[in-house]
């Protein structure tokens, strides 16, 4: 994602981008490419933000895990940086799935049911109420990390007695059958949402032995889906998904820039699972292959409240291995 954004900004003749990069990822980038890079050690990151981000546009690329993206957004605003993306408060809300789903459901957004896990009793009560299969996952996480699919009482008991059963910060939901998808949207400074692309999400389940719960893993997807591509799952129109995008944005004050909405297409309509307040993997691939410049569109939306007039999206079938960083 960082490589794509750096490349897109570098193609603009009025921008001189600077990549502030944690040393753990420095080997991914070729220093001979001529693009400006500033490598920081873990204990230097905050100082670098304050020295380099003051009064400058900043694009943050970081996961929501353990509140990292929200903390970085707050530090950038403290340093006087101009975030080309969501405000710290919006990032904090979106990063907490339990808080997010409760908020969205209260605004009329169709969401999957959920319960916050407090102890083993919570999970057992959910099994009795919803039945199997069930999904247990972190309230704050990304990429399917620590997510588990429980199909029966045997897997439930194995999960509760395993090392996975650190029940702090988890939510539980019924497993929803359907078509895993995401919406890539662009949000202006005044909160206007623009649906850039509907994407397929390819989710893999880890291999397991009998009695062992499976875990989810995001492995890739496809951009630029048309209504025909998911017609078997409720026939949801692009117009409806555009309206759904705007409803989600209206529900979370401060969302701006690129945002991803994960959902399941079902025969009863889409069910929203989570909101990613940042550039996502499908957008990173679009940045590599689309005829328009996603960096330029981001700046115009955030700084000038302007939506793109032409943002044709190619169909790209991708895997995570195709995106190096």
- Report the alpha-carbon distance of residue 149 to residue 212 in Å, rounded: 10
Check residue 34 and give its pLDDT: 47
Q: Is the predicted pLDDT of residue 324 greater than 60, yes or no?
A: no
Place of tokens 């889409």: 270
Place of tokens 């957008």: 283
Tokens of 147: 């997510």
- Report the alpha-carbon distance of residue 76 to residue 87 in Å, rounded: 10
Tell me the residue ranges of DSSP E strands in the chain.
18-22, 36-40, 57-58, 82-83, 115-116, 134-138, 148-150, 170-174, 179-187, 193-205, 214-222, 257-266, 269-276, 317-319
Burial readout 261-294 (b: 16 or more C-beta within 10 A, e: otherwise): bbbbbbeebbbbbbbbbbbbbbbbbbbeebebbb
Cα separations in angstroms, 117 against 67, 78, 138, 232, 303: 19, 34, 10, 34, 41
Tokens of 40: 């920081």
Read off the pLDDT of residues 278-297 as tens digits, 9 standing for 90 and up: 999 999 999 989 999 999 99
Which are the contacts of 179, defined by CB distance < 8 A and separation ≥ 6? 200, 230, 232, 233, 264, 265, 266
Q: Is the predicted pLDDT of residue 102 greater than 70, yes or no?
A: yes
- Report the alpha-carbon distance of residue 171 to residue 3 in Å, rounded: 33
Phi-psi region at 283: left, alpha or beta (left = phi > 0; alpha = psi -120 to 50): alpha
- Report the alpha-carbon distance of residue 236 to residue 221 in Å, rounded: 19
Read off the pLDDT of residues 163-219 as tens digits, 9 standing for 90 and up: 655 677 889 999 999 999 999 999 999 999 999 999 999 988 876 555 566 778 888
Average pLDDT, the chain: 87
Check residue 122 and give its pLDDT: 87
Note the pTM of the prediction, 2 decimals: 0.90
Place of tokens 């979106």: 94
Q: Is the predicted pLDDT of residue 139 greater than 60, yes or no?
A: yes
Check residue 292 and give its pLDDT: 94
In the CATH hierarchy, which fold is given to the domain comprising 113-175? Answer: Dna Ligase; domain 1 (3.30.1490)
Read off the pLDDT of residues 27-82 as tens digits, 9 standing for 90 and up: 676 655 545 777 777 666 667 777 788 888 999 988 777 778 888 899 889 889 99
Check residue 140 and give its pLDDT: 80
* pLDDT band (50, 70, 90) for residue 325: very low
């Amino acid at each position: 994602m960082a490589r794509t954004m750096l490349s897109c900004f570098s193609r603009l003749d009025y921008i001189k981008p600077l990549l502030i990069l944690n040393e753990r990822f420095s080997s991914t980038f070729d220093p001979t490419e001529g693009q400006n890079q500033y490598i920081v050690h873990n204990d230097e990151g905050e100082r670098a933000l304050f020295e380099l981000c003051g009064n400058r546009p900043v694009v943050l690329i970081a996961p929501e895990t353990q509140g990292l993206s929200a903390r970085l957004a707050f530090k950038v605003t403290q340093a006087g940086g101009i975030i080309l993306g969501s405000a710290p408060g919006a990032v904090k809300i979106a990063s907490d799935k339990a808080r997010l789903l409760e908020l969205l459901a209260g605004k009329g957004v169709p969401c999957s049911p959920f319960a916050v896990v407090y102890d083993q009793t919570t999970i057992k009560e959910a099994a009795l109420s919803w039945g199997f299969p069930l999904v247990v996952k972190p309230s704050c996480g990304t990429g399917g990390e620590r997510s588990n699919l429980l199909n029966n009482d045997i897997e439930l008991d194995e999960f509760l007695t395993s090392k996975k059963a650190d029940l702090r910060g988890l939510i539980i939901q019924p497993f929803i059958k359907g078509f895993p998808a995401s919406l890539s949207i662009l949000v202006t400074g005044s909160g206007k949402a623009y649906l850039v692309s509907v994407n397929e999400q390819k989710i893999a389940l880890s291999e397991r032995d009998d009695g062992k719960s499976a875990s989810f893993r995001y492995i890739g997807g496809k951009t630029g889906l048309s209504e025909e591509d998911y017609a078997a799952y409720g026939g949801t129109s692009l117009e409806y998904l555009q309206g759904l995008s705007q409803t989600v944005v209206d529900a979370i004050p401060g969302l701006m820039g690129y945002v991803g909405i994960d959902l399941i297409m079902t025969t009863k309509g889409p069910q929203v699972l989570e909101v990613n307040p940042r550039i996502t993997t499908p957008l990173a691939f679009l940045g590599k292959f689309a005829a328009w410049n996603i960096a330029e569109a981001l700046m115009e939306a955030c700084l000038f409240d302007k939506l793109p007039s032409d943002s044709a999206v190619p169909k790209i079938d991708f895997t995570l291995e195709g995106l190096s960083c």
